[in-house]
Structure 1
Amino acid sequence: MFKPITIKDIAQALELSPSTVSRALSDSYEINEETKKRIIEYAEKHNYRRNPMASSLRHGRSYSIGVVVCEVANSFFSQAIDGIESVAYGKGYHVIISQSHDSYEREVVNIQHLANRAVDGLLISMSAETKDFSHIANLHGHGLPIVFFDRIIDSFETHTVTSNNREGARMGTQSLIDRGFRKIAHLANAPHLSITAERLDGYKTALKQHGIPLDESLVRYCHHGGRVQQEVEDAVRYFLSLDEKPDAIFVASDRLSMGCLSAFNKLAPEDEHLSVAGFSNSDVLDLLQPGFTCIRQPAFEMGRVAMEMLIQLIESHYPVYEFENTVLSTELISR
C-alpha cells in the first residue's frame, strides 16, 4: 500500500525537528538558507507533497478550488481550465472540475457538493438553463469567495471576467457583410444568459452600421445552449423553410456553431450553400465547413485571470469591497 512521505519522515532522516522541516517547507525566514536547501532537496527527491487535510486544519483552508463549467469537452472551456490550472497549482491549490451540462438541476447539485467539500472558492460559468441564482447567492452570502467567467450574473458584487462579446459579434457579422451577404440570420444561446444579449447587440450593431434592417424572424434562440441537438436542428430547419432564406448565419457560441454546421450538412439539399461565422475556439469546425470564419475568445487568459482574482479574494486579510469586471479582447480568424 502506498504511503506518502511525511514531515516527520523528513525530520527523522535529516535528524532535525519536525517544526524546523515544516518552517523550511513554508519558506520561513527563521530557517537558515543552507538548512532550508537541504530539506527542500530531500523533500523533492522523495516526492513530498503537502497533506491537504493537515493544511486545512492548520490554516482553515482546504487549498482546493471548485470550477463549474457546462462541458469540459467544449474547446473554450478546456482551454479556460488550462489557464485556471496554470495559476492554481503554482499557488499550491488543487482544482476540482464539475460539469453542469447546461442543466440547472445539475449545477445546483454540483455547487452544493463542492461547498460541502469545503472548497476555498468557486469559479463559475453559468449553465444555459439557470434562471434562479439563489443557490449561489446563499453561498456568497455566507462568505464563500466566488468569481464568474464567460457567462456571468450581476445578482451580487464580485469579480467577473468576460470577452468583449459585443465587439466579437460585430466583427463576426461584419465578416459576413464584407463577403456580400445581406440576409444574415442569428442563432443565439439561451436568452437570459449574459453572453446572449451582448452578442445579439453586436450582431444588431453590424447590421445597423451597413443600413441593413433587422429582421426579428431571422433570430432564433436555443434555450439548452446546443446541448439538445434537436433544438438546433429545428432552428436550422426553420431557416431553410423560409420563403426568403438567409444567405448566411452568425452563430453565438462554440457548441452552437458545431451543432449548426452538423444540422445544415444533414438537412440542406446538396446544391444549397449557406455561409456560417460564429464564436468558436475549436479547429474542428473547419472540417465541417472549409473556410469557417470564427471569433476566438482568449480562453486560457480568461481562466488565468479569473483564478488570480479568486486567489486574491481567498487570501485577502481584509474584506474586499471593490471588484473588477475584466473584459478581454476577441480575435477574428478568417480562413
Structure 2
Amino acid sequence: MCKHFIYLRVNDPFQIILTMMRSRQVTIKDIAKRLGISPSTVSRALKDHPDISYNTRKAVQELAQILGYKPNEVALSLRTSQSKIIGVIVPEIVHHFFSSIISGIEEVANEAGYYVMIFQTNESYKKELVYSQTLISSRIDGLIVSFSKETTDFEHFNTFVKNNIPIVLFDRVTDDLEADKVLSDDVKGAFLITEHLIQQGYRRIAHYGSPDYMNISQSRLKGYKNALEKYNIPFDKDLVFKCDTHEDSIKLTQKIFSEKNHPDAVFAVNDLTATGVIVALRKTGLRVPEDVAVAGYTNALVSKIVDPPLSTVDQHGYEMGQEAARMLLHRLRKRNSETPFETRIVKTNLVIRESTIKNNK
C-alpha cells in the first residue's frame, strides 16, 4: 500500500493560480510536480482511492481546489468511450412545446453529468439527414428525437442502432425503429377537447389536422371521432382538413367561413394553427366564441395571450422531456442488456378558456 505524508505550505494560493494558470489549464502533472509525487498517485487521490493515505488525498484535493483543477473531459471520454453528450433533434425550437421538451431533457441530463447538443430541422427531411450524420461523427452517447414533418423514411436513424447508440423517440414516433418512446395521451386529449365543444352546444365541429402518416394526426383524429360517436354525432369527412400551420389556417378559414353552411367550431391540431383561425374569423366579421368556438392543442404561451384566450389541451412538454431523458439514461446504463423497449404515456388535461365558452356557460 502506498502511503505518503505531505505537508503543503501555501502562503499565497492566488499567486500559485496566477503562475500555473497564466496560459493553460492545470493538469494532474502540475499537481504531482508541486507535491513531489507521481501523476498516478494524484489521479487516484482525486478519486479518493483507499490505497492512497488520508493525508495524501487531503493534500492533493486541497491543492486541486486551490488551483482550480478541472478534469479533461476530452481525455476522459477517450478513456471511457463515453462523450457524455446527448444529441437532440427537434422540428422547431420556436414552438413552446419543443422548447419545453428541451428544458426537461437538459435538466435531467445535466444533473447526470451529460451535455446536450441540439439541432432543429425546421421540418426538413434533408436537414434531419445532415444533422444525424453530424451527431454520429460527434460520438454522442445517445439520441432523443422528434421527426420532421417531411420524414417518412427512417433508415438514417438505423445508423445509430447499428452503432449501439440508443434512441428515444418522442411525440412524433414510428414503429420502424427499435427505440423507446414517450408520447402524450393524444387520443384522450383530443376526445376531451371535442367533448367539451359538444357539451357547450357545438355540433358542426371542424378538425384541422396534420398529414395522415403522422402518428399525432392519427391519434388526435381518433379522439375527435370517439367524442362524436359518444354523443351520436355523425362523422363528416368534409369537416376534416389537412392544415397545421398558422399561415395556412388563416387562408383555409377565410375560405371555409365564406360559405353559408360553415362549421360552428374548430378544433385545431396545435395552438398556432388555432390562433390563425381566430385571426381569420375576426377578418370575416365572426365573433369567437359567440359565432364560432376555437380550440387548440399543446397549451403553448400563445394560447394564454391571444384574444380571446384559447381553450386547449396541455401536453406537459417539460415532463415529456424529463421522461425521455430518464429513459435514455436508463438505456445507457443497461446498454448491453436485453432490456425490452417500452413506450411511456404522459397524461394530458383540458385547459378551458374563453374561446369555447358559449353564452358564458
TM-score when normalising by structure 2: 0.82
Q: CA 1:137–1:261 in structure 2 vs 1: closer, same or farther (change >3 Å)?
A: farther
Match of 2:179 in 1: 158
User: What secondary structure is seen at the aligned counterpart in 1 of 2:159?
Assistant: helix
CA contact 2:286–2:292 (8 Å) conserved in 1: no
Partners of 2:50 and 2:334 in 1: CA distance? 21
Q: What is the Cα-based RMSD across aligned positions, in Å?
A: 2.6
Q: 1:303 aligns with which of 307, 321, 324?
A: 321
1:282 maps to which of 300, 309, 323:
300
Structure 1 residue 25 displacement after superposition: 4.9
- 1:85 aligns with 106
Q: Do the aligned partners of 1:257 and 1:280 also contact (CA within 8 Å) in 2?
A: no
Identity of aligned residues (%): 38
Which of residues 69, 75, 85 is equivalent to 1:64?
Answer: 85
Aligned to 1:329: 347
In the alignment, the residues of structure 1 paired with residue 143 and residue 42 of structure 2 have an alpha-carbon distance, to the nearest angstrom, of 32
What is the alpha-carbon distance in structure 2 between the residues aligned to residue 120 and residue 332 of structure 1?
A: 37
Farther off after superposition, 25-34 or 199-208: 25-34
Select between 39-48 and 57-66 the one with higher mean Cα deviation. Answer: 39-48
Change over 3 Å in CA distance of 1:50–1:278 after alignment to 2: farther
- What is the 5 A alignment of 1:1-335? 3-12=24-33, 17-23=38-44, 25-26=46-47, 48-222=69-243, 225-226=244-245, 229-265=246-282, 267-269=283-285, 273-316=291-334, 318-335=336-353
Larger RCO (CA within 8 A; separation ≥ 6): 1
2 CA distance for matches of 1:177 and 1:277? 12
Q: Which runs of 5+ in 1 are unaligned?
A: none
- Structure 1 range deviating more: 296-305 or 138-147: 138-147
Supply the AA of the counterpart residue of 1:320. E
1:45, 1:177 → 2: CA distance? 68
Counterpart-to-counterpart distance in 1, 2:280 and 2:40:
64
Aligned-pair distance for 1:44?
Answer: 5.9
In 2 relative to 1, CA 88–20 (structure 1 residues): closer, same or farther, beyond 3 Å? farther
Q: Deviations 1:21-75 (Å, cap 9, x if unpaired)? A: 4445556565677766775666566654443321221011211111001111211
Counterpart Cα distance in 2 of 1:106 and 1:230: 22
Closer, same or farther in 2 for the Cα pair 1:43/1:145, shift >3 Å?
farther
Amino acid at match of 1:327: I
SS of 2:83 mapped into structure 1? coil
SS in 2 for 1:250: strand
Closer/same/farther in 2, CA of residues 183 and 62 from structure 1, 3 Å limit: same
Contact 2:271 2:312 in 1 (8 A): no
Give the Å deviation of 1:114: 1.2
The higher radius of gyration belongs to 2
After superposition, the C-alpha distances for 1:267-302 in whole angstroms (9 at most, x for unaligned) are 432557422112123232232232411111121111
**Which whole-Å CA distance do the structure 1 matches of 2:316 and 2:262 have between them?**
33
Given the superposition, is the C-alpha separation of residues 112 and 317 from structure 1 closer, same or farther in structure 2, using an over 3 Å criterion? closer
**CA displacement 1:107-143 (0-9 Å, x = unmatched):** 1111111111111111001111111111112332332
Q: 1:44 to 1:185 in 2, by over 3 A?
A: farther
Structure 2 Cα separation of the partners of residues 262 and 30 of structure 1 = 71
Question: What SS does the corresponding residue of 1:332 show, helix, strand or coil?
Answer: strand
Q: In 1, are the aligned partners of 2:271 and 2:303 still within 8 Å (CA)?
A: no
Q: CA deviation at 1:246?
A: 1.0
Deviations 1:246-279 (A, max 9, x none): 11111112443344444444x4325574221121
User: Partners of 1:174 and 1:97 in 2: how far apart?
Assistant: 37
The amino acid of 1:75's aligned partner reads H
Deviations 1:284-322 (A, max 9, x none): 223223241111112111111111111222232523340
Q: TM-score, normalised by structure 1?
A: 0.88
Please tell me whether the aligned partners of residues 129 and 190 of structure 1 are also in contact (alpha carbons under 8 angstroms).
no
On the 8 A contact 2:101/2:320 being kept in 1, the answer is: yes
Match of 1:97, SS?
strand
CA distance in 1 between partners of 2:343 and 2:225 (Å): 24
**Does the 8 Å contact 1:262/1:288 carry over to 2?**
no
Aligned counterparts of 1:215 and 1:163: Cα–Cα separation in 2: 26
Aligned pairs, number: 330
CA distance in structure 2 between the partners assigned to 1:207 and 1:105 by the alignment: 39
Is the CA contact 1:185–1:218 (under 8 Å) kept in the aligned structure 2? yes
Helix, strand or coil for the counterpart of 1:148? strand
The structure-2 alpha-carbon separation of the partners of 1:120 and 1:178, relative to structure 1 and needing over 3 Å to count, comes to same
Measure how far apart 1:334 and its partner are: 1.4
Change (3 A) 1:58 1:169: same
Taking structure 1 as reference, are residues 15 and 256 closer, same or farther at Cα in structure 2, changes over 3 Å only?
farther
